[in-house]
Amino acid sequence: MYALNFYSPVVADQLRQRRKTATIRLGDKSGKYKKGMIVAVLAGARYSPREKIFDAVVDKVEVKRLGDLSPIEIERDNPELRRPDEMAHFLSTLYNRAVSSDDLVTVIRFSEIKA
């Protein structure tokens, strides 16, 4: 089974509250994630035990420039953000490198699978 791993405690809370319905990943991840794929949504620190939040289906995978993201796409990833420059700053802290509006990102939309 594939997984979407989330390392930030803030993001883990957003997932538990079902406020996060997408993830924006730096680079082209379209070779790894495909529409219809079932993934485990996991939260926890890198190289540590993870908590399974829920299973999900990947609804859409789209690669685009960070500067081309819509406010809705950004909000689905992080309900506290709306603008590409805010997302660039957020991704810079996650990836420990400078991120600009010209960088390619992959928007992965997902929906929880209820038992």
pLDDT string in tens for the chain (115-residue length): 899 999 988 899 999 999 999 999 999 999 999 999 999 999 998 899 999 999 999 999 999 999 999 999 999 999 999 999 999 999 999 889 999 999 999 999 999 999 8
Output Rg (C-alpha) for the chain, integer angstroms: 13
Report residue 92 as tokens.
Answer: 């810079």
Report residue 49 as tokens.
Answer: 């035990």
Among candidate residues 104, 87, 76, 5, the one with its CA nearest the CA of residue 46: 5
Contacts of 74 (CB under 8 A, 6+ apart): 24, 81, 82, 83, 84, 86, 87
pTM: 0.94
CB 20 within 8 A of CB 79: yes
* pLDDT given at position 56: 98
| Dihedral, 2, 4, 9, 10 alpha carbons, nearest 10 | -160
